[in-house]
A and B are shown apart, each in its own frame.
Chain A
Amino acid sequence: MDNKIVFDRIRNDINMNDVVLYLKGSAVFPQCGFSAAVVQVFNHLGVAYKDFNVMEDNELREGIKAFADWPTLPQVYVKGEFIGGCDITREMFASGELQALLQEKGIKMSNAA
């Protein structure tokens, strides 16, 4: 599978949006508990994000895994950088590292816990 096209697309999306969530399902209707948990963290912090539903786009679903060398969804990107999946996002939220990272990158959190 030639990844160039989908990688270019991904690079564009993660550079055009401060926070990007690649999900199984949409942010409004997540189709998996892990994706729902990641959405919950960012909703709780009041952070604006762009979500992509990989279930509607198989090329993206496989491309994003190759792009990050990460075999599962969801995937979280902040300012173009891969942060991790659900476990890492929740761990960073619990320790406050996620809030610190977002602050450091100048990303607005309307209700930082």
Chain B
Amino acid sequence: MAMDAQDIARMIREGVPGAVVEIEDLRGDGEHYAAYVRSAAFVGKSRVQQHQMVFAALKGKMGTELHALAVHTIPVTEQEG
């Protein structure tokens, strides 16, 4: 069963320190989402490491329940919001 946008956002917020998360529903099919994750925790990390932080927050759901989630990570210098 696919996850909904709020669950995805909540898990990422809980797992990535200070994350500000925006989920875009790409096709309205409950499968194809894009997650835009902003966090100061990404600063100084490679893109791969940033994405791995998001995957860790999703606790194994990436590639299983979530096979069509596009991830965009944005390092932010000072913490927003």
Contact = CB atoms under 8 A, between A and B. Distances in A.
Interface of A: 34, 65, 69-72, 82-88, 91-92
For the residues of B in contact with A, the DSSP-based class is mixed
Interface residues of B, number: 14
A99 B48 CA distance: 17
A92 B47 contact: yes
Interface of B: 47-48, 51-52, 55, 60, 62-64, 67-68, 70-72
A61 to B, nearest CB: 11
B63 A65 contact: yes
A52 to B, nearest CB: 17
Closest CB pairs A-B (n = 4): A71-B63, A72-B63, A71-B62, A88-B47
B72 A87 contact: yes
Contact of A71 (B47, B48, B60, B68): B60
Nearest to B60: A71
Contacts of B62: 71-72
B72 A91 contact: yes
Contacts of B71: 87
A70 B72 CA distance: 15
Nearest to A97: B47
B60 A88 contact: no
Given A70-B48, A88-B51, 15 more contacts: A34-B68, A69-B52, A70-B51, A70-B55, A71-B62, A71-B64, A72-B62, A72-B63, A84-B47, A84-B48, A86-B70, A87-B70, A87-B72, A88-B47, A88-B48
